[in-house]
Amino acid sequence: MRDRSLPVRSVLADREMELGPDEVISTTDHWTLKKGADGIAWLILDRKDESANTLSEDVIVELDRMLSEVEGLRPKGLAIRSAKTGGFAAGADIRDFRGVTDAAEIEERMREAHRVIDRLAALPFPTIAIVHGHCLGGGLELALACDRRIAVHGAKLGFPEVMLGLHPGLGGTFRLTGLIDPIEAMTMMLTGKSAHDRKAKRLGLVDELVQERHVDSAVRAAVNSGKPKRGHGLKGQALSFGPARKLAAGRMRAETEKRAPEEHYPAPYRLIELWEEHGGDPREMRKGEIRSFSRLLAGETAQNLIRVFFLREKLRSLAKGESRVKHVHVIGAGAMGGDIAAWAAAQGLTVSLTDLDPKALAKAVGRAAAFYDKKLHSGIERRDALDRLVPDIAGDGAARAHIVIEAVAEKAEVKKKVYAGIAPRMKPDAILATNTSSIPLSELAEGLPFPERLVGVHFFNPVTRMELVEIVSHDKASDEALARARAFCGDISRLPAPVKSAPGFLVNRALTPYLVEAFVMLDEGVAKETLDRAARDFGMPMGPIELADQVGLDIGLSVAESLRAALDDPMPGVPGWLRDKVEKGDLGRKTGKGLYEYDKDGKPRKDKDAPSPEPGMADRLIMPMLNTCARLLREEVVTDADTLDAAMIFGTGFAPFRGGPMHYARSRGVDDVVATLKALEERHGARFSPDEGWEAVRAE
């Protein structure tokens, strides 16, 4: 969720208004040191030419210089905060880490950074971090080095390093476990989940929670209180003993193994080992943190996940610009349409949702309310989101909307009938967006009075979790409409991936051969649990059978058949039993039964005694996907391999630690991939024939 706190004005301007023009003592590129009439020094972080603060090496070097200035001032206390409206600091500057694979070099750099942060922690007068907005990773480690933390309402604090294949590396491992309940601290670091303002206060991560206008008085009170005396509590005292930590660490490993196998994601396990061995001994934990962090950062997993970070940033950059969208009208209150409407309303837009079936509308609003109860952080946020989501049985919202999103049945004739009724009512500059997953937009544009304003805005299921949205172009789509559609994705915290209109677009085109091959293997007698395990062992978040059930067997069947009809790919037909299941209404997780049966909590019932995967089984599943990706690049459905990799990671969950399908193919070796495809072709047929596109990939 986006931060909903009130915007913080320039901190420097606010302090001048409240306290008069404080004396500026010193400035660097990124820091300003001021001293107020009350004797309190203020150290303001404002990274030059950056939209958000990050702790680059330059920032740390300048902080060291500023601390010398602060020590010379001998103030009553020191307050540190950010001049950025978005937050305190977003963490370390990942650009400093990209491509660095020498662990010894990293250790040396990290020891120097620790020296500076430790210098802050050792100042003899009270130090206070004032946190607003995001305070993550290295930013939180900077705040933890202060004696106290005062949070402005709306602050969000956390350690997301595990998402980059790392753990905290600038003192977070021992300072957080020494400050709050060690189990809560380890859980935060192992999961990467953030604590919003009230939870952070409840955990003891922040000392005070205030409105922006009360920051100065809270700082003065904190300085006057002197340095705090911290206790570890009964649980902290118990966990200072090795046997208690060993028991807790065992439980942590078991829980972590459910989400992240050690062979793919080593960072959580190194963090658990670090705490188990040295918890309660900050000096030894500090040494171990630097050593462990450096080795992880130099490893393939972290470097690939850092690559994924930059792939995300690339897609985010495509969402810049003005969408001019304030009102969204969604046609179709099914699983996709209802969830698109719920998500857009949660992101602050007015949304009207229409459907011919009042029961479908009511069900969609009920799902939205349940989602808001679970994910929004206050009653006011939940109330406001529901107020913005307007059930619209008459469809009147179409005349006021700046974008109309059609999410009706995946049949061209049904969609075109909807367009014929809606087009005359739309604003002259409104975008008509289709959520089609496979129908060519040139077909949908036929007869439309404004084909230049028709674009594909293809969300993925589940909408509230999947970040990717394919922005689908066609020959008549205007550049302005496509740019606004990409910016709309930015408005609702989604990642746009530009693709050309072609059967299945990008993600479904690449994913379908993977799923169909799993169906063929099921037909050959391979257990569905075995297939799913083979894919998970490769690194996929779920196997193809469970994925097919989650997407919906009806949708999977429709996409597979439409692709087979539209393409000259030698893709096998879907088995007859799959069509029988769809006709019976066994559509997967949404109906409680598909290829798996599901319990009342929506979890699949699996045979725990199913055979383990045979060698090469994962290749048989993954290679058709890789081969299709090479073809998509050759056909220019997507402009470049990085966009393709990003789309497959954020649209299908393709093993992030592998850096994307084309990055994986290059890392494995294109010659090896082609040889594997040829071997599979000999055994299983022409569908594995290597695409011509591999020649271009090899030449890169």
Catalytic positions, please? Answer: 141, 161
Count other C-beta atoms under 10 Å from residue 428's C-beta: 6
Task: State how far the alpha carbon of 534 is from the alpha carbons of 545, 620, 652, in Å.
Answer: 11, 10, 16
Q: Is residue 37 helix, strand or coil?
A: coil
Q: Rounded distance, CA 210 to CA 187, Å?
A: 26
Residue 499 parent element (H or E): strand 495-500
Q: Rounded distance, CA 272 to CA 256, Å?
A: 10
Q: Rounded distance, CA 433 to CA 430, Å?
A: 9
Peptide bond preceding 75 in cis form (omega within 30 of 0): no
Would you say 675 and 521 are in contact if contact means Cβ atoms under 8 Å apart?
A: no
Q: Rounded distance, CA 234 to CA 255, Å?
A: 24
* Strand 127-131 with 350-354, pairing: unpaired
Both tokens assigned to 184:
């809560």
Both tokens assigned to 228:
């705090």
CA torsion through residues 400, 406, 409, 412, sign: positive
CA atoms within 13 A on the CB side of 78: 25
Q: Rounded distance, CA 645 to CA 300, Å?
A: 17
Q: Rounded distance, CA 441 to CA 439, Å?
A: 6
Would you say 455 and 464 are in contact if contact means Cβ atoms under 8 Å apart?
A: no
637, 469, 623: which is closest to 566 by C-alpha?
A: 637
Q: What φ, ψ does residue 500 adopt, rounded to 5°?
A: -85, 150
